Amino acid sequence: MKIDLSFVKNLPVWLKTSLLLVAAVLGVIIFFFYARVTNTDETLCASCHPTIYRQWEESKFHPQTVSCYECHSPHYAAFPDAGEPVYHHYLSKVIPEKFYASDSQINKNCLRCHADIPELKEVKKTRIIKISHKKHFKGKKVKIDNCVVCHLSITHDKYSIETNRPRMQGCFLGECHVADKKEDRCELCHFVKLVEEEKVLEKIDKK
């Protein structure tokens, strides 16, 4: 079956030009849409990182709308910086690329979504542990300047019991809380004593 396109010859020049422009614009939009979808599709990451993908899929700390590119790809502002190529800026904004697992890149994306947290004296809505981000993140006595130092296991947690909080053994590493290993010092970070905490954990597990 042949399609008769002879009527196109009789169309006015302005209409032919308009149709060509519309077709070209639609083609560009479809190309960039397809490129963005394929570049941000987490199942592509899963083909090389199945275990990490499963950990992300099962994670309860970020909604599923926060996928790989949200944390691992650079995010660009509305307008390019001085001296930055405009074409590269907007191309990278539309089609995320340069996926890295470096602490510096992930830390930038943490602060992009959680800019208010470093200034919190105490995180609210916590059941067991109280942590002052203001004291820990670039504090006077503490030199931590990266969210990943304490929240390394967020989203990709290798432990059987998931948590987005720092692990206790991590707090005792280096010079951080070496002097606080004694039982009478537990209340520095815990709302309740360890014995009471175990009872709370048992109740949480049963729910």
Task: Write the pLDDT tens digit of every residue in 78-92.
Answer: 888 888 888 888 888
> At residue 120, does pLDDT exceed 90?
no
CA dihedral defined by 74, 78, 138, 172, rounded to 10 degrees?
A: -30
| CB neighbour class for 171 (10 Å; exposed up to 12, middle 13-18, buried from 19) | buried
> Phi and psi at residue 190, in whole multiples of 5°?
-105, 140
Q: Give the whole-angstrom CA distance, residue 21 versus residue 8.
A: 15
Specify the residue for token string 């570049």. 39
Whole-structure pTM value = 0.69
Q: Are 92 and 128 in contact (CB under 8 A)?
A: no
- The percent of residues above 90 in pLDDT, for the chain, comes to 14
